[in-house]
Structure 1
């Protein structure tokens, strides 16, 4: 039975209520096997608690299936928080109470243990894992409604076992609404693609990844120290994803040599209590553990909201789901958390960025198409790598904006082609590349910069309009070093009012030039320049 303690009501967000209604719509259509696709932070466990509580209220027998001991305890604690009476089916567990209406079950234990009643509801957490014994258990109970929870329904064959999918919300919406935090992503030093061997499934082999990764362990530690010092002023709570136990040991030893406490947990741990103690200590706000190094353990369902840094050392060639699950571990919000970092030392961001942002922005789509995403190999080639790395800080680019420093890559062209229409040629589309290091959004509008320069120089020149125009040209060339003024710009009427962001940039550029060149005169247009631009 539930221990007597303060509990809280389950209050669903509007999109969660819509998801529940979506499940009901599916049931009305006769679909009893439905995937509930909810990205990290969407509240899958809360949704599950709501479904389980409703089953309990009706006296139905309901099972919540998980594949990790840590997730049994984590889910049990959440149900306690919401006042849902339940038992657990997992090894020798003090919460063994099989006659309670709700049971939290380890799928491994469930395969070996008999329960007193047939379930009316089966909720399968991380349903993309597709354990054969669990799928068989669901198939053996056709009268039960089965709901599969996952953020990444990309495993091949899912459409064969489930009849449909309800998309709860998108990661981008959760970020925009403040329920998730988008990480600053850094593309750090990583082994070359050729150093990774392939296994029989066409994925990178863990052994080759470990051998290649061990060679850059020192870089992993150095990068972590540099970035945590820059962003947090010192060590920050961190999760590291490692390909093998051996690689994890090397990482822990290297961090220890640098004076930091990193502890490894892996699928080879024989002592569940020791692992549980490490995780419990790591959860503490003042934890003595700076980081957990995970080998096949914390990829999914592990929630420590105050984790600030994730380090990716396990490369994937096909598994978009693993990449999204891992990066999701650092994206949860916390009252004391203002930013989070993702340090990529294996090239996963470069392989999966396009697909990841598509899923973040638009959701997983239909189950039949989503289930094919993990079957496609992504190669990290030069033509795909360069657009994804910030030229300023080495951060990961999302479109034309750096996720780490905010630098914006200037658009190469503003020309738009519309079928059936001819549009006036826009001269600003030609050759307007700003000087490296400039990040202002107004740089996308070169004509605004030119007009602001005209306005500023006319207001501050004591030598007349001709000098003001030549001075403005010098300022403009300082911003766009290789640009030529399009026809008609040089003689344009000096505006009385201009874009304030552009004017501020002109003022900063003028001050920068004066500070750097206290004696030299600024660049001004000569007769040839004026004739060409007139």
Structure 2
């Protein structure tokens, strides 16, 4: 069995305590690179050792073999454990042995109907979900499924304690996403493709990489197949061994490219929605973000892909090159975030948008392109594309974080820092940030903030907090 790190064992103990107190479904939160699969493997091994059947659900086929390898190393008894992709499990529910424990990887997907079908089919099973971002876009928290949220250590803590590599983040809003429309919660893929399919964007991406990350093993996240192929071609024009991969790439070709990347024969991998959740590439030193997104989950997963530690390079500093300004929407990878199981309040439906036909004066819906009465056709307005910016070099957004605030010697100084400084993305530090820092720095907090600390801190953090 793979031994757990102290913070991983603490999370397992907290999960067991919650189940012992009668919780039937628990969501565990741990940042990317914190070792969720090893924790899951240890829990599964413990369950199967007691004769309990386990069902482990992933959302992508490529992750099945990866998690199977980890579970094998953890000593899981596979005669009592099924690892399956959610769609496959859904189709085979009648043939799937009833589990005592259901483990859900990347649990922010759990509100989708496929996952709910599995949970409804096995109502007696204990459900444990694991995620770095316990929310679903447009729906908020996951309280419709989970009874309790248990948070582990923060991303900042993982960096400070050398479980993740520190990073440098470079960015400028090269592509203007402000005029993009939204479909199903994220930017319209067709509009994103049109926005990014500009030669200047590709050229700037390569130029910045040559100046900031030359020679680094790099994963590039693109918005479409055409964009990814064009970006890979632009790298190759500069003599850099770059390849494009997407969901339609044959499995053998995809595997060969990934293995070439691991061996260092391929320097740059451009992809569309492949190397995100659950994909572990320890030799990735740099990520290039060329896909604007409204999804915090996607931003965190992609931007942190280069932050895994490398035993052969203990001084590694990860590089994140953001060409689309995602940091202005979501902040930096290690920003302190407050999670909750509560759902977002549903927005009131907006009044129906209408327009008047200039020919027959009929009133129709704004989306109508041809008047149903007189056949007048509205000409489509040309949307302005992004400004083509030549020869621009990304600027560092944050210079090696965790500096100034550590000089604070009291709660008053910490609060003064919070009130006079802003985060790298221009947003203010929230009160919870001061509480987290007080725990880390061992600073005493005024007694009047005890109730706030109970509400905003994890149990283990609250136990370490001092009051005056």
Q: Give the one of 326, 334, 341 matched to 1:367.
A: 341
For 2:246 and 2:275, how far apart are their aligned partners in 1?
9
Residue 417 of structure 1 and its aligned partner are, at CA, apart by 11
In structure 2, the residue matched to 1:289 is 266
Change (3 A) 1:227 1:372: farther
Q: Is the 8 A contact 1:320 1:373 kept in 2?
A: no
In structure 2, the residue matched to 1:18 is 10
Q: Is the 8 A contact 1:243 1:295 kept in 2?
A: yes
Residue 239 of structure 1 and its aligned partner are, at CA, apart by 0.7
Residue 403 of structure 1 and its aligned partner are, at CA, apart by 3.6
Q: Is the 8 A contact 1:37 1:152 kept in 2?
A: yes
| TM-score, normalization by structure 1 | 0.62
Q: Give the one of 321, 324, 327 matched to 2:297.
A: 321
1:212 and 2:188 correspond: no
Aligned-partner SS, 2:321: strand
In structure 1, the residue matched to 2:430 is none
Change (3 A) 1:202 1:15: closer
For 1:227 and 1:316, how far apart are their aligned partners in 2?
23
1:294-313 → structure 2 map (5 Å cutoff): 294-313=271-290
For 1:324 and 1:393, how far apart are their aligned partners in 2?
20
Write out per-residue CA displacement over residues 294-349 of structure 1, whole angstroms, 9 at most, x where no aligned residue: 211212111111210000011013x1111111112111101233211000000001
Q: Is the 8 A contact 1:154 1:374 kept in 2?
A: no
Structure 1: gaps spanning 5 or more residues: 1-8, 87-99, 230-234, 376-391, 409-415, 420-534
Change (3 A) 1:272 1:198: same
Residue 407 of structure 1 and its aligned partner are, at CA, apart by 11
For 2:311 and 2:345, how far apart are their aligned partners in 1?
35
Residue 394 of structure 1 and its aligned partner are, at CA, apart by 1.4
Write out per-residue CA displacement over residues 89-112 of structure 1, whole angstroms, 9 at most, x where no aligned residue: xxxxxxxxxxx1112111122122
Q: Give the one of 151, 157, 180 matched to 2:132.
A: 151
Q: Is the 8 A contact 1:395 1:403 kept in 2?
A: no
For 2:223 and 2:75, how far apart are their aligned partners in 1?
39
Residue 189 of structure 1 and its aligned partner are, at CA, apart by 5.7
| TM-score, normalization by structure 2 | 0.70
Residue 10 of structure 1 and its aligned partner are, at CA, apart by 2.3
The range that moved more, 345-354 or 307-316, is 345-354
Aligned-partner SS, 1:334: coil
Runs of 4+ that moved beyond 6 A: 416-419
In structure 2, the residue matched to 1:453 is none
In structure 2, the residue matched to 1:232 is none
Q: Is the 8 A contact 2:276 2:301 kept in 1?
A: yes
Write out per-residue CA displacement over residues 36-91 of structure 1, whole angstroms, 9 at most, x where no aligned residue: 111112210011001110111011110111111221111111122233342xxxxx
Q: Is the 8 A contact 2:290 2:324 kept in 1?
A: yes
For 2:319 and 2:307, how far apart are their aligned partners in 1?
9
For 1:163 and 1:262, how far apart are their aligned partners in 2?
46
In structure 2, the residue matched to 1:127 is 107
Q: Give the one of 206, 228, 253 matched to 1:248.
A: 228
Change (3 A) 1:223 1:373: farther
1:508-527 → structure 2 map (5 Å cutoff): none
Q: Is the 8 A contact 1:308 1:340 kept in 2?
A: yes
For 1:135 and 1:54, how far apart are their aligned partners in 2?
25
In structure 1, the residue matched to 2:152 is 168
Structure 2: gaps spanning 5 or more residues: 348-392, 405-411, 416-468
Change (3 A) 1:345 1:115: same
- Kindly name which structure, 1 or 2, has the bigger radius of gyration based on alpha carbons: 1
Change (3 A) 1:246 1:358: same
Residue 162 of structure 1 and its aligned partner are, at CA, apart by 1.2
Residue 393 of structure 1 and its aligned partner are, at CA, apart by 7.6
Change (3 A) 1:260 1:77: same
Write out per-residue CA displacement over residues 415-434 of structure 1, whole angstroms, 9 at most, x where no aligned residue: x9999xxxxxxxxxxxxxxx
Aligned pairs, number: 355
Specify which structure has the higher proportion of strand: 2
Residue 202 of structure 1 and its aligned partner are, at CA, apart by 5.2
In structure 2, the residue matched to 1:203 is 186
Residue 205 of structure 1 and its aligned partner are, at CA, apart by 1.8
1:222-261 → structure 2 map (5 Å cutoff): 222-229=207-214, 235-261=215-241
In structure 2, the residue matched to 1:103 is 82
In structure 2, the residue matched to 1:342 is 320
Q: Give the one of 180, 185, 189 matched to 2:164.
A: 180
Write out per-residue CA displacement over residues 136-189 of structure 1, whole angstroms, 9 at most, x where no aligned residue: 101221111110110111212521111111112111111111000121111146
